[in-house]
Amino acid sequence: MPVVKREALKEDIKNGRLSPAYFLYGEESFLVKSYAERIKNKALGGDDSGINLVEISGNPDFSMLIDHIEAVPFFADYKVIMINDFSLENVDEDKAEELLNILKSIPDTAVLIFYLTGISFSLKSARVKKLFEGIKKYAAVCEFKPLTSKEAANVITAKVNKEKRKITPSNANYLAEITVCDLNLASAETRKLCSYVGEGGEITREIIDRMVEKRLETQVFTLSTAMLGKDKRKAFQILNSLFEQRAEPVAVLAALASAYTELYMYKAAINSNVSFNQVAADNKYASTRLYFARTKYDQAKSTEIKALRKAVNIIYDTDTKLKSVKIDGRILLEETVLKLMSVI
């Protein structure tokens, strides 16, 4: 079976071209689960009785799994077996061979779906890599990578349209960005907004700002992006908004320090020819961190390591003053933002 792209998988499900086995994984766990459900629903033809469905969490006993696969579906075309968070790393060589024998012998009356939403795996282990390559031979394998803000905005727009509400492309993109392109978070906020505006209503920027709680990390991420882009007006708008929300200067500075320290780390990685995927794997980033991290990695490409050292030193000096000198924290942060924009 080939490795399949998300759009191709979507078309196959829509047209009823089902594979005997699927292996779905990736950082975008919302889509992993969503597509597993789509495959299940297509195979069961809308039957929600559960009589032809088996759901398993973790690594099952393989003899039991064989029994489920070989069981004849009850007045239906398929029996569906869904296995959530199957750990490749917990399968030894003997069990790996047994699993591959199971996969290549699945009858036409069964659909086996492995989908990983809470765990991941590393291909650094030769044993895991060999097993994964074997799975690719017998199962349709699809990786769900983090979405770009544009892709996340398209998902939001589709959901809003389905609920018979309206949202402009720019506002969909804004909602995607403040939910860091995490579809679990974006989906929950979109449901809330749709409920608020009602059928036929429009989700405006004002409503998003009023209804969606912005995390400090998200706002400082947007602030640092504006600073790197030399957009002084936007940077100070965000900073003023943070003060209006009564954000503590120490907390804002800590978040800025984290953002610039990450930039420095990414620049060092770039200078050493280390890819973003390797950085993400080494740091074991959660899916909610990937949008931030990937954007910062790309931003680091256009910065100089010397300038980033200066920026880190500026933040350190500000931190020392905030904690040791009686001074207006707001004024000190405003001065720091200007200094940082002058060196990068």
pLDDT per residue as tens digits for the range 87-143 = 999 999 999 999 999 999 999 999 999 999 878 888 889 999 999 999 999 999 999
pLDDT at 282: 86
Q: How confident is the model at residue 22 (pLDDT cuts 50, 70, 90)?
A: very high
CB 187 within 8 A of CB 172: no
Please give the C-alpha separations between residue 17 and each of 12, 13, 149, 232, 275, in angstroms, as whole numbers.
Answer: 5, 6, 30, 53, 36
Sheet of strand 140-143: strand arrangement: 53-57, 79-84, 110-115, 21-25, 140-143
Instruction: Of 38-42, 58-62, 161-165, 229-233, give the lowest mean pLDDT range.
Output: 229-233
β-strands 21-25, 140-143 pairing = parallel
At residue 217, does pLDDT exceed 90? Answer: no
Report, as an integer, the average pLDDT of 164-187. Answer: 89
Q: Which CATH superfamily is domain 6-143 in?
A: P-loop containing nucleotide triphosphate hydrolases (3.40.50.300)
Paired residues of 141 in beta bridges: 3, 23
pLDDT at 15: 95
pLDDT at 310: 95
Paired residues of 79 in beta bridges: 110
pLDDT at 77: 94
Q: Does domain 149-211 have CATH number 1.10.8.60?
A: yes
pLDDT > 70 in the chain, percent: 99
* Among candidate residues 29, 50, 56, the one with its CA nearest the CA of residue 112: 56
User: Mean pLDDT score of the chain, rounded to an integer?
Assistant: 92
Report, as an integer, the average pLDDT of 62-71. Answer: 97
Which regions of the chain carry the CATH code 1.10.8.60?
149-211
Q: Which fold has domain 216-343?
A: Zinc Finger, Delta Prime; domain 3 (1.20.272)
Q: How confident is the model at residue 195 (pLDDT cuts 50, 70, 90)?
A: very high
Express each pLDDT in 237-252 by its tens digit: 889 888 888 889 999 9
At residue 324, does pLDDT exceed 90? Answer: no
pLDDT at 110: 98
Which regions of the chain carry the CATH code 1.20.272.10?
216-343
Express each pLDDT in 269-293 by its tens digit: 999 999 998 898 888 876 667 777 8
pTM of the model: 0.68
pLDDT at 182: 77
Report, as an integer, the average pLDDT of 194-210. Answer: 95
Whole-number Å distance between alpha carbons of 200 and 198: 6
Whole-number Å distance between alpha carbons of 281 and 268: 16
pLDDT at 288: 62
Q: How confident is the model at residue 234 (pLDDT cuts 50, 70, 90)?
A: confident
Which regions of the chain carry the CATH code 3.40.50.300?
6-143
At residue 36, does pLDDT exceed 70? Answer: yes
Tokens of 229: 């882009």
At residue 9, does pLDDT exceed 90? Answer: yes
- Vertex 32 angle, CA 29 and 33, to 5°: 90
pLDDT > 90 in the chain, percent: 69
Report, as an integer, the average pLDDT of 175-197. Answer: 88
Whole-number Å distance between alpha carbons of 334 and 166: 38
Whole-number Å distance between alpha carbons of 241 and 44: 50
pLDDT at 107: 97
